[in-house]
Structure 1
Amino acid sequence: MKLALVSIHIDHSLRAIPLGTAMLAAAVEKDLGEQVNTTLIDCTLQQSVTDCAKEILRHQPDIVGLSITVWNRELALDIAHHLKSANPNLILLAGGPEATANPLSLEEIVDLDFVLTGEGEQKVITFLGNLLQGQAPKPSELMAVESIPDLGDLPSPYLTGMLRPTPGGGVLWELSRGCPYRCDFCFESRGSAIVRRFPLQRARAELQLFASLGVREVFVLDPTFNYHKQTAKELLGIMAKEGQGLHYSLEIRAELLDHELAELFASIDCSLQIGLQSADAKVLRMINRDFDREEFTDKVHLLHLAGVSYGFDLIYGLPGDSLAGFLASLDFALGLIPNHLDIFPLAVLPGTRLADTATGLGLEYQQHAPYKVRSSNTFTSAEITQAARIGAACDFFYNRGRAVPWFAMVLDGLDLVPSEFFSRLASVLPEIPPDDPLPLQQSFVADQFKQRQQPEVAALASDLIAYFGAVEPLLRDPVFKAPSGLKAGELYLNPDSVFVTFNYDPEQLLQHLADGITDLEELTFFAEPVNSEYCCYLYQDELQLYPLTREQGDFLKSLDSHTPAEPPSAKFVAKVLEAGMLIQAR
Structure 2
Amino acid sequence: MNIVLCAIDAKFIHTNVALRLLKANCPLPCELFEFTIKSDEDTIVSTILAAAPDLVAFSVYIWNVEIVRRVADAIRKRSSAKIVAGGPEVAHDAGRFLADCPFDFVVRGEGERAFARLVTALADGSSFRDIPNLAYWDGSTERINPIEPIADLAGIASPYRFTADEKDIPRKIQYLELSRGCPFSCAYCLAPLDGAVRFFPLPRIKDEILALQERGARTFKFLDRTFNVRPEVATDLFDFIIRNRRDGVVFQFEITGDILPDAIIRHLNDVAPPGLFRFEIGIQSTNDATNRAVARTQDNARLFKNIRALVAGGRVTIHLDLIAGLPEEGLDSFIRTFDDSFALFAPELQLGFLKMLRGTPLRRDAARLGYEYDPNPPYQVTKSAVLSAVDLDRIACVEAVLEHFWNRGFMPEAMKMMHACVPSMFFWMESLYAFLLDRGFSFLRHQIFEMFALIDAFAQKTIPAGYANVHDALVRDYLERAEARPKPWWTVREERREQKSALLQRAHAIDPSIPLDDYFKYGVVAPYAGGYLAAVYRPSGKSMIRFD
TM-score w.r.t. the length of structure 2 is 0.84
In 2, are the aligned partners of 1:393 and 1:429 still within 8 Å (CA)? no
DSSP-derived class of the 2:6 partner: strand
Provide the rounded CA distance (Å) in 2 between the counterparts of 1:338 and 1:468. 17
Number of residues of Structure 1 aligned to a counterpart in Structure 2: 496
Shift in alpha-carbon separation, 1:168–1:73, aligned structure 2, 3 A: closer
Query: CA offsets, 1:400-421, max 9 Å, x none?
Result: 24433331112324x3421122
Provide the rounded CA distance (Å) in 2 between the counterparts of 1:373 and 1:81. 29
Corresponding residue for residue 452 of structure 2: 442
Corresponding residue for residue 516 of structure 2: none
Deviation at 1:260, TM superposition (A): 2.6
Alignment partner of 1:237 is 2:229: no
Corresponding residue for residue 406 of structure 2: 398
1:358 is aligned, of 351, 366, 383, to 366
2:313 is aligned, of 300, 306, 309, to 306
Query: CA offsets, 1:437-469, max 9 Å, x none?
Result: 6334312321223325859946x6455335434
Q: Tell me, which stretches of 5 or more residues in structure 1 are unaligned?
A: 475-496, 512-523, 548-586
Corresponding residue for residue 341 of structure 1: 349
DSSP-derived class of the 2:184 partner: coil
Provide the rounded CA distance (Å) in 2 between the counterparts of 1:353 and 1:134. 38
RMSD: 2.8
What amino acid is the match of 2:107? L
Corresponding residue for residue 300 of structure 2: 293
Corresponding residue for residue 19 of structure 1: 17
What amino acid is the match of 2:197? V
Query: CA offsets, 1:114-156, max 9 Å, x none?
Result: 1111000000111011111123534974143111111110111
In 1, are the aligned partners of 2:452 and 2:478 still within 8 Å (CA)? no
Provide the rounded CA distance (Å) in 1 between the counterparts of 2:190 and 2:231. 24
Shift in alpha-carbon separation, 1:356–1:528, aligned structure 2, 3 A: same
In 2, are the aligned partners of 1:254 and 1:296 still within 8 Å (CA)? yes
1:180 is aligned, of 183, 201, 205, to 183
Corresponding residue for residue 485 of structure 2: 498
Shift in alpha-carbon separation, 1:84–1:265, aligned structure 2, 3 A: farther
In 2, are the aligned partners of 1:184 and 1:354 still within 8 Å (CA)? yes
1:528 is aligned, of 523, 526, 531, to 531
Deviation at 1:252, TM superposition (A): 0.2
What amino acid is the match of 1:11? K
Deviation at 1:244, TM superposition (A): 2.9
Provide the rounded CA distance (Å) in 2 between the counterparts of 1:286 and 1:248. 33
What amino acid is the match of 1:253? T
Corresponding residue for residue 10 of structure 2: 10
Shift in alpha-carbon separation, 1:252–1:435, aligned structure 2, 3 A: farther
Corresponding residue for residue 543 of structure 2: 544
Provide the rounded CA distance (Å) in 2 between the counterparts of 1:248 and 1:264. 17
What amino acid is the match of 2:477? F
In 1, are the aligned partners of 2:175 and 2:223 still within 8 Å (CA)? yes
1:380 is aligned, of 373, 388, 402, to 388
Provide the rounded CA distance (Å) in 1 between the counterparts of 2:15 and 2:380. 26
2:328 is aligned, of 312, 320, 330, to 320
Corresponding residue for residue 420 of structure 1: 427
Shift in alpha-carbon separation, 1:432–1:456, aligned structure 2, 3 A: closer
In 2, are the aligned partners of 1:43 and 1:52 still within 8 Å (CA)? yes
Identity within the alignment, %: 23
What amino acid is the match of 1:199? P
Corresponding residue for residue 79 of structure 1: 71
Provide the rounded CA distance (Å) in 2 between the counterparts of 1:443 and 1:457. 13
In 2, are the aligned partners of 1:312 and 1:338 still within 8 Å (CA)? yes
Provide the rounded CA distance (Å) in 1 between the counterparts of 2:207 and 2:300. 40
Provide the rounded CA distance (Å) in 1 between the counterparts of 2:16 and 2:50. 19
Corresponding residue for residue 153 of structure 1: 155
In 1, are the aligned partners of 2:225 and 2:254 still within 8 Å (CA)? yes
Deviation at 1:528, TM superposition (A): 0.8
Provide the rounded CA distance (Å) in 1 between the counterparts of 2:378 and 2:466. 47
What amino acid is the match of 2:228? N
Query: CA offsets, 1:233-257, max 9 Å, x none?
Result: 1111111122333101111011122
In 1, are the aligned partners of 2:535 and 2:542 still within 8 Å (CA)? no
What amino acid is the match of 2:148? E
In 1, are the aligned partners of 2:284 and 2:322 still within 8 Å (CA)? yes
What amino acid is the match of 2:35? C
TM-score w.r.t. the length of structure 1 is 0.79
Q: Tell me, which stretches of 5 or more residues in structure 2 are unaligned?
A: 136-145, 493-502, 511-526
Corresponding residue for residue 197 of structure 1: 199
Deviation at 1:202, TM superposition (A): 1.0
DSSP-derived class of the 2:7 partner: strand
Provide the rounded CA distance (Å) in 1 between the counterparts of 2:266 and 2:215. 27
Corresponding residue for residue 573 of structure 1: none
